[in-house]
Structure 1
């Protein structure tokens, strides 16, 4: 099995560079959000192709593995499916995407718009995953897992490399967590050099419960960000990385996430889906309080939403 190392992440970054954006960093002051003054950097990965960081893992998987004639299949709450559909379309590969019924219309339409076959498989991500596995067994298509696959972790780790290039003096990075592919890849890059803080909704405390139990365990799959941050368990591959290199795990309420989503739009004119605003919610709600002088960045990781209608 491919190891999730810094060298692997560097190699992947070179492979996917022609296909992904180097997303910008926006320097803001929390005073603009109605909080005590403090400079904060926002890494706007919400501006990535397909609307989220997931494009990194998708391109890494499709460009470093042997894809069969049957194409690729993915189970997704929406963002991973959109990313796989986007990457497959750009590379001329057939794609079938299984989503649960909680997937937002914005994400479903994005998947269809990229030309993939969209299949609704059950009410939650775990249902869509089971349906996708049955499809693979019958067709021989290649699975691109949303978070529990080395190539996915390595691809998402390229975002850690990019943040390190953008913000070399960073102390702390706040990252939203669903299945853990993003924070696992970022943790694998930083390896403790930066304080990585996991932020999850109270209704889906997947990593939080796993860290408390010492192993991945089932968690609730509810809340405002259920289409992106609510698998039953975190990935087996990311969990040892989280145990070793994630400094802290905090939980935020749905109200705090919604408020952060609105604040991003009103104060910075940045559109984020609930999952994309979750990390910022920890700062704005006071769930995470930095030390004086602590240099903090927040990863705004997704923007596939219809919350802002123009």
Structure 2
């Protein structure tokens, strides 16, 4: 299963006027920060949610039962936002480890929320069962072509806004963002996948020659907590030769504080993971290399930023 550059380009046209075109900040010479922190619902996930729902509407396949999704939090917030923007009902299943900030946000968006299971995979199983009962449109967090293509529009914007970069660093959970960005770039820039050492989902899959389950723990678990990489993500990244690096939780925590301290960017731990790869040496740019870091999410408790 794959997603092409053309798929991402079509998604960009479809979601224009629905998803925000987010800023690209020159943090320092050679380092650009793509601020998906100011996207609708606080993360890049609204892009894929809009693309999936709007594609279904174009095809006449948008059910009266509305939208249903499982999520660590950010995807659910995005689907809830999409549903409200399009006048639809949303039902969201989240694991018990989800941030209280995200659960409160879901309820503020008038979604019906069910907390079940210790990890995302268990919440997902419950959502699939419920979708079969109601007929609602499933919007997968990372493993549907329309979702991946929508997420990839971030990569198109990076190219357009920067005039070209050498490398894009992308945090990985289930892999929808890294797959979409890889497809969007189409070889025009290197993609480096960044994961917490305690959730090496893509890293293990690339080493094993296919998706394998991993244990999920650590500071990024609420947003990067997929225990199995998506099939699309594996197929796209392995075919493209995407480099995978791992970062310790301590580096993620420090990168998150740096984003707030130095740039007043409020990021959750997942949002800081890609920057952590630069700061801890997991990825070292060559002299003169232009690097874009996708700061992918901001759904966090502001009191913990200082």
TM-score, reference length from structure 2: 0.96
CA RMSD of aligned residues (A): 1.3
Q: Paired residue for 1:45, among 36, 50, 59? A: 36
Q: Is the 8 A contact 2:3 2:236 kept in 1?
A: no
> Structure 1, residues 256-310: CA drift from partner, whole Å, max 9, x if none?
0000000110011100000000000001111111111111111100000004369
Q: Distance in 2 between matches of 1:88 and 1:154?
A: 19
Aligned pairs (5 A) from 1:1-310: 4-29=3-28, 39-65=30-56, 66-308=61-303
TM-score, reference length from structure 1: 0.94
Q: Secondary structure at the match of 2:20?
A: coil
Q: Distance in 1 between matches of 2:76 and 2:287?
A: 40
Deviation at 1:246, TM superposition (A): 4.5
Structure 1 runs not aligned, ≥5 long = 30-37
Q: Distance in 2 between matches of 1:237 and 1:28?
A: 32
Q: Distance in 1 between matches of 2:27 and 2:5?
A: 30
Deviation at 1:71, TM superposition (A): 1.1
Q: Secondary structure at the match of 1:88?
A: helix
Q: Distance in 2 between matches of 1:75 and 1:236?
A: 17
Q: Is the 8 A contact 1:58 1:144 kept in 2?
A: yes
Q: Give 4+ residue runs of structure 1 displaced > 3 Å after superposition.
A: 307-310
Deviation at 1:167, TM superposition (A): 1.6
Structure 2 runs not aligned, ≥5 long = none
> Structure 1, residues 28-79: CA drift from partner, whole Å, max 9, x if none?
12xxxxxxxx531111111100000000000001101121111111000000
Q: Is the 8 A contact 1:195 1:246 kept in 2?
A: no
Q: Distance in 2 between matches of 1:9 and 1:280?
A: 25
Deviation at 1:247, TM superposition (A): 2.9
Deviation at 1:134, TM superposition (A): 1.1
Q: Is the 8 A contact 1:261 1:272 kept in 2?
A: yes
Q: Distance in 2 between matches of 1:121 and 1:130?
A: 10
Structure 1 pair 184–293 and aligned structure 2 pair: CA distance change class (3 A): same
Q: Distance in 2 between matches of 1:84 and 1:207?
A: 24
Q: Distance in 1 between matches of 2:197 and 2:165?
A: 27
